[in-house]
Amino acid sequence: METICSAFRYAAITLRARCRRVGGETRLTTTPIERHDGGMSRHWALYDLRIRTPWLELRVPNERLIDDIIDVALVGIHDPATMPFEFAWTDEPRDELPLNTLQFYWGQLAAFAVDDWHLGMAVLVDGQVVGVQGIGAKHFPLRREVSTGSWLGLRHHGQGIGTEMRSAVLHFAFETLGAEYAISGAWADNAPSLAVSRKLGYRENGVTRKVRRGQVDEQIELRLSRSAWEEHRRDDIEIDGFARCRSSFGLD
Ligand SMILES: CC(C)(COP(=O)(O)OP(=O)(O)OC[C@H]1O[C@@H](n2cnc3c(N)ncnc32)[C@H](O)[C@@H]1OP(=O)(O)O)[C@@H](O)C(=O)NCCC(=O)NCCS
């Protein structure tokens, strides 16, 4: 199973294909266009889903929140000398990032299906987007396993937000969806990501050799069982708006 970090490649692939089709003349702008009201469809219950801790909230991003995610990403997610993601999407030209990101989230929402779904949820602190907490699963009703991936704007690192948003999404996975396992993965040199996983009870689940920036490197696989999650279970995380979403996840 891929982590959400690697899923970012789909948007970039789509964009490159489209650029080739139009003869390479496509130029993208990072200038914001003030034309929509951030509205969302009334016909898709996932937009009403809220995962709340005393500190932050996770939401499926509407158009306005995707724009805010883009703004945070443009300011910077990591030191360019390092690459925390499996697909190096933050290495793409800066002026391609907005459309790549839009297509990534549109693609996720368009492709959502009971047996294969990924949600990159906007993370809001005091109503402001600070990053993304992703969660996804394949054949969840049978496998009961989710994978997660995440990022924060650089200026929000190292304050405990990464741990808080992972705790939030794990609560949703185990408590609300009834997951049995959650998996994650990080490059061996991504100390903060590995620290968050270990703090929350994940155990190492092997090492995979993968390609990063054209070089073979090692990714540490991690796995959290329901019983290990129970040891870190919190009683201050609330899930709102799930009742109408149950069938989207294949739950009765
Ligand atoms: C990974 C990420 C989401 C973590 O969020 P965060 O808010 O910085 O994480 P937290 O502050 O909750 O926790 C970080 C932990 O890492 C530890 N840490 C940080 N740097 C470390 C280092 N060099 N060595 C060891 N531990 C380190 C911190 O001490 C902290 O643990 P503690 O609370 O026990 O002290 C964030 O760093 C990020 O967005 N990084 C760039 C993108 C990324 O790597 N995404 C994950 C891809 S798999």
Q: Which domains does the chain have, with CATH numbers?
A: 4-20+46-234 (3.40.630.30)
Question: Hey, whose CA ends up nearest to atom 19 of ligand 1?
Answer: 192
In this predicted model, what pLDDT tens digit does every residue of 89-136 receive, in sequence order? 999 999 999 999 999 999 999 999 999 999 999 999 999 999 999 999
How far does the centroid of ligand 1 lie from the alpha carbon of residue 15, in Å?
A: 30
Q: Which residue is it, tokens 């959290």?
A: 224
CB 229 within 8 A of CB 182: yes
- Whether the pLDDT of residue 24 is over 90: the answer is no
Q: Is 76 in the pocket of ligand 1 (CB under 6 A)?
A: no
Q: Is 210 in the pocket of ligand 1 (CB under 6 A)?
A: no
How far does the centroid of ligand 1 lie from the alpha carbon of residue 146, in Å?
A: 21
How far does the centroid of ligand 1 lie from the alpha carbon of residue 193, in Å?
A: 5
CA atoms within 13 A on the CB side of 196: 25
Per-residue confidence at 40, pLDDT binned at 50, 70, 90? confident
Query: What is the pLDDT, as a whole number, of residue 70?
Result: 98
The pTM for the full model equals 0.90
Q: Which residue is it, tokens 């995380």?
A: 237
CB 241 within 8 A of CB 211: no
Q: Is 179 in the pocket of ligand 1 (CB under 6 A)?
A: no
Q: Which atom of ligand 1 is nearest to the CA of 161?
A: 7
Nearest to 180 by CA among 234, 232, 150, 140: 140
For residue 54, give the DSSP letter: S
Q: Is 30 in the pocket of ligand 1 (CB under 6 A)?
A: no
Helices (H), 76-148: 97-111, 140-143
Helices and strands in the chain: count of H runs, count of E runs: 8, 9
Per-residue confidence at 160, pLDDT binned at 50, 70, 90? very high
- Whether the pLDDT of residue 38 is over 60: the answer is no
Percent of the chain with pLDDT over 70: 85
- Whether the pLDDT of residue 145 is over 60: the answer is yes
Residue 87, classed as helix, strand or coil, is: coil
How far does the centroid of ligand 1 lie from the alpha carbon of residue 226, in Å?
A: 23
The Cα 211–Cα 218 span in angstroms is 8
Per-residue confidence at 57, pLDDT binned at 50, 70, 90? very high
CB 186 within 8 A of CB 207: no
Indicate the average pLDDT of the chain: 89
Residue 37, classed as helix, strand or coil, is: coil
CB 59 within 8 A of CB 65: yes
Q: Residue 198 region, left (φ>0) first, then alpha (ψ -120 to 50), else beta? A: alpha
Per-residue confidence at 1, pLDDT binned at 50, 70, 90? very low
How far does the centroid of ligand 1 lie from the alpha carbon of residue 175, in Å?
A: 25
Per-residue confidence at 41, pLDDT binned at 50, 70, 90? confident
In this predicted model, what pLDDT tens digit does every residue of 171-195 receive, in sequence order? 999 999 999 999 999 999 999 999 9
Could you give the strand order of the β-sheet that contains 57-59, starting from the edge strand earlier in sequence? 203-212, 215-225, 181-187, 145-152, 128-138, 116-125, 57-59, 50-52, 238-240
Q: Is 188 in the pocket of ligand 1 (CB under 6 A)?
A: no
Q: Which atom of ligand 1 is nearest to the CA of 131?
A: 39
Q: Is 150 in the pocket of ligand 1 (CB under 6 A)?
A: yes
The dihedral of CA 103, 53, 51, 59: what is its sign? negative
Structure tokens at 187: 């490059």
Q: Is 192 in the pocket of ligand 1 (CB under 6 A)?
A: yes
Q: What are phi and psi of 179, to 5 degrees?
A: -65, 155
